[in-house]
């Protein structure tokens, strides 16, 4: 089986790190949102393998796009660092001996920033292959409908996923033979569909008020460790001085440089503790920006969870009440990083440990919320409807089973479907509140609190995966 765990090997990108962090420590598993996809470690000792006698008959995945080139703003920082390295006369030693000859890993500047990289395309294709084999929910020759936010890198991720899932070709002489359908929904910048969206946070004004707390807390924490790293690394330089901002760019270039071009030398330059601090800054950013530390996070995540709960309640092959279409047994939605943590909040996960809320002045090692295990490239939250002697639901995040604290009496710490439905519509609904009301949208024309696109034919543009 081609699993995401083996993706790096499959695409020939595996590099064995012999660095100051130690051979058993992989910085790419601690780079937050800059991490290429990897399977998260098992949580609470619960294995991914299905319990004996159980079969998944329906599943829903909510997925960040695959690895990409940098945002234009980040790329400006890369260019500034490259210029600093190129326009000085200096001697570099030890872990920094490579920087005089280092080049930017972007060779098509007008196009590449913002767009999916080849690694991202491979991640998405591999996910399609894995889920086809794991679930067996789509017979050969059948189609699948996939929902995606409208930005190009997200649409491309959905396209490569569908090609991997269907083994779909490009039937140039017979376009009618092309298989797979994308339903493209409006993206963040133009989202006027409110909760009925894959990017609901962008149309919740109250959510945005708190969203800035993520960058504020993470920047404050970065200020506590970056200067010391600069002091350490400057000992390997004569004639050039790194500052705290340079350190931030260099650490970002570990994950990005590796997924774009296989570059790993920036990964090698930092110690294990320095990577753990870097990761924790990402954790603070997402926890307080879009996760449980944002009081509107559960509000924007609950509509999707509620929609999937309703679909699971009627079971595969059935339409919910007032629905105009039957969802496929595998429900796939592709989106952006900040839209994934709200699902964790809506489900009431990763907020029951002693580290809730996350401390903002010092690293908390005994924490549940880790951005690297959730919002890596292709990071995801999945719900599986699991039929055993009865029907259960389990939650995955980056392929790790996450037990629901209040409901884990089923096989493999799963939740009985009836109890899951009650949990979503009761306790979690009360905690999340109504989208329109809590977002301050009363009286706004068209504002809705429910996800309807999964069960209702809408205005999204349907696009064949195959090329004609």
Q: Is residue 349 part of a domain?
A: yes
pLDDT tens by residue, 88-147: 999 999 999 999 999 998 877 776 667 999 999 999 999 999 999 999 998 877 889 999
pLDDT of res. 162: 93
Q: What is the mean pLDDT of residues 422-426?
A: 98
Q: Is residue 256 part of a domain?
A: no
Q: What is the CATH number of the domain that holds 392?
A: 3.40.50.1240
Q: How confident is the model at residue 19 (pLDDT cuts 50, 70, 90)?
A: very low
Peptide bond into 214 cis (omega under 30): no
Q: Is residue 218 part of a domain?
A: no
- The pair of structure tokens assigned to 219 is 């920047």
Q: Is residue 357 part of a domain?
A: yes
Could you tell me what percent of the chain has a pLDDT over 70? 90
Active-site positions?
65, 337
Q: pTM here?
A: 0.92
Q: What is the mean pLDDT of the chain?
A: 90
Q: Is residue 187 part of a domain?
A: yes
pLDDT tens by residue, 35-85: 999 999 997 889 999 999 999 999 999 999 999 999 888 899 999 999 999
Q: What is the rounded distance in angstroms from the CA atom of residue 101 to the CA atom of residue 85?
A: 9
- The residue segments making up the domain with residue 381 are 4-12+30-68+117-210+295-464
Q: How confident is the model at residue 24 (pLDDT cuts 50, 70, 90)?
A: confident
Q: Is residue 274 part of a domain?
A: no
pLDDT of res. 247: 98
Short-list 315, 301, 338, CA closest to 433 = 301
Q: How confident is the model at residue 325 (pLDDT cuts 50, 70, 90)?
A: confident
pLDDT tens by residue, 61-70: 999 999 999 9
Q: Is residue 103 part of a domain?
A: no
Q: Is residue 243 part of a domain?
A: no
pLDDT of res. 9: 38
Q: How confident is the model at residue 355 (pLDDT cuts 50, 70, 90)?
A: low
More confident residue, 141 or 1: 141
* Tally of domains within the chain: 1
SS (H, E, C) the chain: CCCHHHHHHHCCCCCCCCCCCCCCCCHHHCCHHHCCCCCCCCCCCCCCCCCCCCEEEEEEEEEECCCECCCHHHHHHHHHHHHHHHCCCCEECHHHCCHHHCCCCCCCCCCCCCCECHHHHHHHHHHHHHHHHHHCCCCCCCCCEEEEECCHHHHHHHHHHHHHHHCCCCCCCCHHHCCCEEEEECCHHHCCCCCCCCCHHHHCHHHHHHHHHHHHHHHHHHHHHHHHHHHHHHCCEECCCCCHHHHHHHHHHHHHHHHHHCCCHHHHCCCHHHHHHHHHHHHHHHHHHCCCCCCCHHHHHHHHHHHHHHHHHHCCCCCCCCCCCCCCCEEEEEECHHHCHHHHHHCCCCCCCCCCCCCCCCCCCCCCCCHHHCCCCCCEEEEEEEECCCEEEEEEECCEECCECCECCCHHHCEEHHHHHHHHHCHHHHHHCCHHHHCCCCCCCCCCCCCCCCCCCCCCEEEECCCC
Per-residue pLDDT for 174 more than 90?
no
């Amino acid at each position: 089986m081609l699993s995401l765990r083996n993706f790096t090997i499959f695409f020939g990108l595996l590099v064995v790190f012999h660095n100051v962090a130690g051979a058993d420590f992989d910085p790419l598993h601690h780079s937050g949102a800059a991490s290429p996809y990897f399977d998260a470690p098992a949580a609470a000792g619960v294995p991914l393998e299905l319990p004996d006698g159980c079969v998944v008959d329906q599943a829903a995945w909510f997925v960040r796009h695959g690895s990409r080139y940098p945002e234009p703003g980040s790329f400006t920082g890369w260019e500034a660092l490259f210029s600093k390295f190129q326009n000085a006369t200096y001697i570099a030693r030890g872990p920094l001996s490579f920087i005089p000859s280092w080049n930017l890993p972007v060779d098509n500047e007008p196009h590449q920033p913002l767009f999916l990289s080849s690694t991202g395309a491979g991640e998405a294709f591999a996910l399609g292959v894995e889920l086809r084999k794991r679930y067996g929910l789509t017979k050969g020759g059948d189609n699948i409908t996939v929902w995606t936010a409208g930005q190009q890198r997200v649409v491309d991720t959905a396209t490569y996923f569908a090609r991997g899932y269907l083994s779909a070709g490009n039937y140039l002489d017979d376009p009618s033979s092309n298989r797979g359908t994308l339903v493209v929904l409006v993206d963040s910048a133009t989202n006027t569909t409110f909760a009925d969206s894959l990017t609901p946070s962008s149309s919740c004004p109250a959510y945005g008020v708190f969203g800035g707390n993520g960058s504020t807390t993470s920047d404050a924490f970065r200020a506590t460790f970056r200067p010391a790293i600069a002091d350490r690394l400057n000992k390997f330089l004569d004639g050039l001085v790194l500052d705290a901002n340079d350190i931030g760019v260099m650490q970002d270039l570990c994950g990005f440089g590796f997924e774009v071009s296989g570059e790993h030398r920036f990964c090698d330059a930092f110690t294990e503790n320095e990577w753990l601090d870097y990761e924790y800054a990402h954790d603070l950013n997402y926890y307080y920006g879009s996760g449980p530390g944002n009081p509107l996070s559960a509000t924007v995540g609950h509509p999707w969870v509620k929609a999937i709960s309703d679909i699971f309640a009627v079971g595969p092959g059935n339409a919910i009440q007032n629905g105009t279409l039957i969802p496929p047994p595998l429900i796939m939605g592709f989106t952006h990083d900040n839209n994934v943590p709200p699902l964790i909040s809506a489900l009431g996960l990763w907020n029951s440990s002693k580290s809730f809320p996350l401390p903002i002045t010092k690293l908390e090692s005994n924490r549940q919320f880790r951005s690297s295990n959730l919002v890596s490239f292709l990071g995801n939250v999945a719900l599986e409807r699991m039929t055993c002697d009865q029907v259960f639901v389990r939650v995955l995040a980056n392929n790790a089973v996450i037990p629901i604290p209040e409901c884990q009496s089923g096989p493999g710490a799963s939740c009985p479907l009836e109890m899951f439905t009650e949990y979503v519509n009761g306790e979690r609904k009360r905690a999340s509140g109504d989208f329109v009301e809590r977002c301050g949208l009363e009286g706004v024309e068209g504002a809705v609190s429910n996800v309807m696109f999964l069960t209702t034919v809408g205005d999204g543009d349907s696009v064949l995966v195959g090329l004609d």
